[in-house]
Amino acid sequence: MAKQDFYEILGISKSASQAEIKKAYRKMAIKYHPDKNPGDKTAEENFKKAAEAYEVLSDENKKARYDQYGHAAFDGPQGGGGFGGGMNMDDIFSQFGDIFGGGGFGGGFGGFGGASQRQARVKGSNMRIRVKLTLEEIAKGIEKKVKVRRKVQADGVTYKTCTTCNGSGQQMRVTNTILGRMQTATTCGTCSGAGEIMSSKPNGADAQGLIIKEETVSINIPAGVTEGVQLKVGGKGNEAPGKNSIAGDLLVLIEEIPHENLKREGTNIHYDLYINFSEAVLGTSKEVETVTGKVKIKIEAGTQSGKILRLKGKGLPSIERYGTGDFLIHINVWTPQELNKEQRQFFEKMSENENFTPTPNKSDKSFFEKVKDMFS
């Protein structure tokens, strides 16, 4: 199903200023806020859509990419825009709460404003792992199954309402100022905003009621990832104490295994093919292994060393879906280093032959022209 246009969601035009975008988002967030629409799943969905649209359009760089490529600009894991199903309501409150200027709702809906009544949900810590991939795996994309040791709540842990904040997760403080008595809300220091504390735990659990458990996690790695890209598997990090807590995320750093014969340059792949002198003179056919399988190429008679054969679309796909790179074959003519008497006599005889005299024409590009073409 096609995603709804971000501008349409906020009810603005593409020429809207940042101030207009912010104003439109604030209006939508107030209208569909979950505290104003309890139990309304449609309102909650619209609230999330508005936050996703604002997350992209409020950033000039992301907005420019969206204007050019639409939702496709953020479909990949490194797109940097949209929530992709990995951001929950508390993440939205945390990221965009300041847009209402602290209590901008006139009394404060939960998650926004200084007088928030929304009980905080404690989130567990993130975990980080490295996954190594071959060029062949990068070319096609792959599902990797990895074993991780993560903290999870032990069976048998029980909780009770925090007596310090009576389950609200906040403590109210009244201070006397030059402007009079002011009331402020702060996170409860006893339960860290969770509204509950542990009442009992089984043997083997730590002070927070957590144990270490090994788990197999599936990671869907899209085609075209690059060295250093970081993927996120939501909810597969360490858990946190509390019945209403949420688990952290598993952050996956991609490492590329160097290929023995191929060299990557963005989405292009380079390969050095060596042929002997006779093959260069007479022409030949060769079978070459690319990242997507074997291909047979024809080398014309009289091929010069340094010639580059380009196989369109045989490189790597772009992770941002800008197309597929090429497979570049660099022809290297191998000059024999040792000759027998008969071979030496042949080449001595041919050295004065006009067919062996270099006569490059305008179609034969120089090394620098070839490099220029390769990068253009």
Write the DSSP string, 267-317: TEEEEEEEEEHHHHHH-EEEEEEETTEEEEEEE-TTPPTT-EEEETT-SPB
Among the listed ranges 86-100, 181-195, 235-249, which one has the minimum average pLDDT value?
86-100
Tell me the pLDDT band of 4, cut-offs 50, 70 and 90: confident
- Report d(CA 73, CA 57) in Å as an integer: 13
Same domain, 148 and 231: yes
Same domain, 229 and 286: no
Per-residue model confidence (pLDDT) at position 252: 95
Same domain, 68 and 82: yes
Same domain, 125 and 100: no
Name the nearest CA neighbour of 192 among 159, 174, 168: 168
- Report d(CA 274, CA 333) in Å as an integer: 6
- CATH number of domain containing 79: 1.10.287.110
Domain assignment of residue 87, given as a range: 1-118
Q: What is the pLDDT of residues 254-308, one digit of tens each?
A: 999 999 999 999 999 999 999 998 999 999 999 999 998 999 999 999 999 999 9
Residue 16: how many CB atoms within 10 A of its CB? 17
Same domain, 48 and 79: yes
Mean pLDDT of 61-76: 76
Distance in angstroms between the alpha carbons of the first and the last residue of the chain: 37
Same domain, 130 and 251: yes
Share of the chain above pLDDT 90, in %: 43
Q: Which is more confidently placed, 78 or 207?
A: 207
Name the nearest CA neighbour of 252 among 88, 80, 77: 77
Per-residue model confidence (pLDDT) at position 321: 75
Same domain, 129 and 244: yes
Number of domains in the chain: 4
Per-residue model confidence (pLDDT) at position 369: 63
Tell which of 118, 147, 166 closes a domain.
118
Q: What is the pLDDT of residues 215-241, one digit of tens each?
A: 999 999 999 999 999 999 999 999 988
Same domain, 170 and 232: no
Contact indicator for 286, 274 with CB cutoff of 8 Å: no
Examine the pLDDT at 337 and tell me if it is beyond 80.
yes
Reported as half-sphere exposure (CB side, CA atoms, 13 A), residue 86 has a value of 17
Mean pLDDT of 94-111: 46
Same domain, 103 and 167: no
Same domain, 127 and 100: no
This prediction's pTM: 0.62
Mean pLDDT of 349-367: 74
Per-residue model confidence (pLDDT) at position 32: 87
Per-residue model confidence (pLDDT) at position 112: 42
Same domain, 315 and 328: yes
- CATH number of domain containing 276: 2.60.260.20
Same domain, 84 and 103: yes
